[in-house]
Every structure is written in C-alpha cells, then in structure tokens.
Amino acid sequence: MVMGDMELNTELLVIGSGPGGYAAAFRAADLGLDVTLVDPRPRPGGVCLFEGCIPSKTGLHLAELLLDTRHAASQGLHFTEPRIDLAEVRAWKQQVIDSMADGLVQLARKRGVQLIQGIARFEDSTTVRLEHSEIRRVRFRHAVIATGSRPLAYPGRGFRPGSRIMSSSEALMLNDIPARLLVIGGGYVGLELGTLYAAFGSKVQVVEMGDRLLAGVDLDLVAPLRRRLDGLFESISLRTRVTTMQEGENGVEVQVQDENGGLENRFFDRVLVAIGRQANTADLGLNKTAVRLDSRSFIQINDQQQTADRSISAVGDVAGGIMLAHKATREGRVAAEVIAGEKSSFDVRAIPAVVYTDPQIAWCGLTEELAEKDGVPVAVQKFPWKYSGRAQTMGASDGFTKVLVNPEDGRIVGVGVVGRNAEGLIAEGVLAIEMGALAEDMALSLHPHPTLSETEAEAAEIFIGSPTHILPKKIGKS
Ligand SMILES: Cc1cc2nc3c(=O)[nH]c(=O)nc-3n(C[C@H](O)[C@H](O)[C@H](O)COP(=O)(O)OP(=O)(O)OC[C@H]3O[C@@H](n4cnc5c(N)ncnc54)[C@H](O)[C@@H]3O)c2cc1C
C-alpha cells in the first residue's frame, strides 16, 4: 500500500463496515489480501451494531424481563412496579455497543485491515473519492460495496433530528418513553420496537396498511403473537393507512383511514415510522461504473456477489434479498473468497429469520405459504407446546413447533417456531435443512429433557408415525 498526497492504493476496498462489509474485509485479510475498510463511523459495526440488531436486542432483553415479571404473577410471584432509569438503560446499551465496536477495531487491527473514516463515491471502476476524510482518493483493484440500507421515510416527510416522528434509529436512542406511541408498519421492526416501548410503559397503537402483521410469515405462527400483542398494545389496526401527520409542540396529530374510507384523528406523543428500508445506492456515483441496479435501486449481483462491473462486488442489504445481518455476513465472506480466487458462492438453502417479540417467532427454509404458492407438496407436522413439559414449566404453552417435510423422500425442508427461545431452536432446523436431514434424523437424535428442543424432535416423530406426547395420526382418528 502506498500512501501519498492524501491518496491511497489498496488491493481491496470495502465500502461500508456493517456485518457485510467487515466480514468481507476480515475474510479477505485472512486470505492474504491488502484491505482497506471505509465508513463514515470511526468503528465498524454498521446499522446492525449502532442502530439495529444490537441496540434493539439490548432493549428487548429488558422488555422481556419486564414482561416476565408480569407473567410471573399468574405463577405466584408478585413484583412491585419496577423503577426504570432511562439514563442507566441508555448507558448499558452504549456499553454493549462500545464493547462490540472496540472488539471489531481490535480484530481489524490484528488482521492488518486499514480502517478509514469517510464517505465514498465512485469516480470510475477503480477509484473512489472520499468526503469527510483525511484521505482524498482511494485506488483499488477490487471493491466490495456494503453500504447497507436506510429507513424509508413517510412519503413527503424526511426524518429530522429532534422530531417526534422517528425512524427506528431515533426510537432506539430511547430519549424518552412516550405516553402514547403510534407505530406505522406491522413488520418485524415495528412490532419489536412496539413491544419494547409497550413493556417500558407506552400505550402503543399499530397501524398497518396490509391485511396482516408480519407479511410473509405463516399465519399460524403469527396467531399466538397476535393474541399476546392484543393484550400488550392498545390497538392494532390492519388495512388502515395514515393520511396526514401534523407535528405540534405537544405531540403529533395523525389522521388514519380505515379500509372503508372512514377517517379518524388520533393524537400521539411520538410516531415511529417502520415501513421498510431502501438501499444506500443513490449517492455512490454508480453511474461512473458498470454496476447495475434493479427497479428498487438494489445492486444486481450474481451468486458470487459480483456486479456487472468486473472489479466491483456487492453484499448485504444494498444487494437486496432478505435484509438480515447473517445474510450480509455470509455474502461478505463469499465476496472476499471469490476475490481471493477461491471457489465460493452464496449457496444457502435456509436463511433463518427471528422476530424478537413476546413470544418470539423464527423460521427457516420453506414456509407453508411459499410451498402452497409454488405448488411444492409438503407434509406439515405441528407439535403444540401444551404437550411439552418444559414449555409448561415456563408458562409458555401457547407456542408450537412445526416441521415441513418433503413427503416423497422424508427430508426436512422448513421449520417454524413460535414461542420462547425460538431464536435458539431455529438453528437445529437450519442445520437439518443444510445437511439434507430426514425427519427421521431429527426424530431419532436424542434431545435433552426437559427442553423446548424436544418439540422439534416430537414434530419430526409425528412424520415418522411414532410420537410420544401426542397420539399418532391413525390412533387419534379412530
Ligand atoms: C431496528 C433494526 C433491527 C434489526 N434487527 C436485526 C436482527 O435482529 N437480526 C438481523 O439479522 N438483522 C437485523 N436488522 C437488519 C440488519 O441491521 C441489517 O440487515 C444489516 O445491518 C445489514 O448489514 P450491511 O453490512 O449490509 O449494512 P449496514 O449494517 O447497513 O452497514 C452499512 C454501512 O455502510 C456505511 N455507508 C453507507 N454509505 C457509505 C458510503 N458512501 N461510504 C462509506 N460507507 C458508507 C454506513 O454508514 C454503514 O455503517 C435490523 C435492522 C434494524 C433497523
């Protein structure tokens, strides 16, 4: 690497240091490449670490504690109302973020990855110009674009600092606990943050334009969550759209319209707009390269993460598909391996997804809805948690585990879980699908008792006709 006249040459420039970008940089460095990682933030981590996965889960961990103390009343434990010190909560959240971010800086240093602060913009297919940086220009042999995504604003309204109309980023700052919070959008970000604020004491209303919460998730998985949310939130309005928002000194007046055209004015202290995310491609100068975008401005890639420009790859949210951190990380590693000349591709059968609500929902592989849409025959084996000893001991018997099996060859093609610790349970499903496991493999692998993991084995046992805690189908029918 030669640095001079504020210019720098590097073999691989990674633009954006979120989980896609830093994974690409680290893997490439491990494979012997000279790597430079640029981001406006001084430390790696991206949206996931600073305003996404990690701060939301520190908050949701506390929400879970709070909700657990309430559920515990039905089991004989009566807590007094907790005192919430928001300043301490914020400090704890920051401590978690700092510890992770500092760890990533150390990992970068030890690998010899050069971290540069700045905003990159392409001048051509081998050069970027940096703004807000000590370095003016970087010339590269290869570049990986990992610039992620940003929250979509409500049409006609950007997000302003200090505004009562927030994106998830501002909501996660936890500046206050609004007495009345409107969440626009019934996707996972809206429901997770709605849960967080409701547990902390806000009266939460959700409005969703579509006819369901968590579009794309099987309806049966959503049903137990919906029942719980009906108790936790003040209201959930489906097929309802926000028509106007007037922000005043004391709050936001919102007009909503239901499916019949009926208008209603509601008043909130804060509004969270969680209606989706858009790719960070607009200001990258991609017109100076051969990179192509799709109709929604995501970068088009092949399964080796290569764009239409030979020297440029793209990974993570900016490359579209499922916008989750673990997908970004895998793509980052694949991009690095391909650039280093290894045989590698994004060859993943099951991308797991988790919604960290109470109860949690997790799924991987085929969903029932997708199977039906694509005409793929599946045998759906459901094990209700009311038959699970562990679920009963936790007061979590409203959950269930389902395993989707190819009826022809007995292979597991999908798994869905709703209930406590769905986040941990789904990993077995991922491994099963990746390994081409049969339902029999899952059923005959010994699962420890009493654990929720047994519900996966029990669901698989239904398929092979030998369940223990539920009657086999033919016995049940007669
Ligand atoms: C509230 C919330 C909760 C979430 N929870 C989860 C979860 O629990 N699990 C999960 O898997 N995913 C979760 N996600 C999604 C996850 O955060 C993203 O999928 C993930 O961060 C994408 O990683 P990435 O590397 O593609 O980009 P990002 O993490 O978005 O990072 C992109 C980086 O690029 C930088 N950048 C942008 N433009 C430039 C430029 N021109 N020059 C240099 N740098 C630039 C940005 O500053 C940023 O640091 C959540 C998201 C949100 C908003």
Active-site choice (78, 132, 142, 449): 449
pLDDT at 478: 38
pLDDT at 406: 98
Q: How far is the CA of 246 from the centre of ligand 1 (A)?
A: 30
The domain limits of the chain are 6-151+278-339, 165-275, 353-464
CB-defined site of ligand 1, < 6 Å: 15-21, 38-41, 46-48, 52-53, 56, 119-120, 146-149, 168, 189, 280, 284, 316-318, 323-326, 328
pLDDT at 1: 44
326 is catalytic: no
CATH number of 165-275: 3.50.50.60
Between 476 and 141, residue with greater pLDDT:
141
Top CATH class of 6-151+278-339 equals alpha beta
pLDDT at 3: 42
Q: How far is the CA of 328 from the centre of ligand 1 (A)?
A: 9
Q: How far is the CA of 155 from the centre of ligand 1 (A)?
A: 22
Residue with CA nearest ligand 1 atom 52: 52
pLDDT at 475: 58
User: How far apart are alpha carbons 354 and 57 in whole angstroms?
Assistant: 12
Mean pLDDT (whole number) for 282-299: 98
Q: Which atom of ligand 1 is nearest to the CA of 172?
A: 1
- Model pLDDT for residues 75-92, shown as the tens digit of each residue: 999 999 999 999 999 999
Residue with CA nearest ligand 1 atom 37: 147
User: How far apart are alpha carbons 42 and 69 in whole angstroms?
Assistant: 39
- Model pLDDT for residues 220-273, shown as the tens digit of each residue: 999 999 999 999 999 999 999 999 999 999 999 999 999 999 999 999 999 999
Confidence of residue 5 (pLDDT cuts 50, 70, 90): low
Q: Do domains 165-275 and 353-464 have the same CATH topology?
A: no
353-464: in CATH 3.40.640.10:
no
Q: Which atom of ligand 1 is nearest to the CA of 317?
A: 26
Q: Which atom of ligand 1 is nearest to the CA of 353?
A: 11
**Residue 109 to residues 20, 145, 278, Cα–Cα distance (Å):** 18, 21, 31
Q: Which pTM was predicted? A: 0.96
Q: What is the mean pLDDT of the chain?
A: 96
- Model pLDDT for residues 202-221, shown as the tens digit of each residue: 999 999 999 999 999 999 99
- Model pLDDT for residues 312-324, shown as the tens digit of each residue: 999 999 999 999 9
Confidence of residue 474 (pLDDT cuts 50, 70, 90): low
- Model pLDDT for residues 445-464, shown as the tens digit of each residue: 999 999 999 999 999 999 99
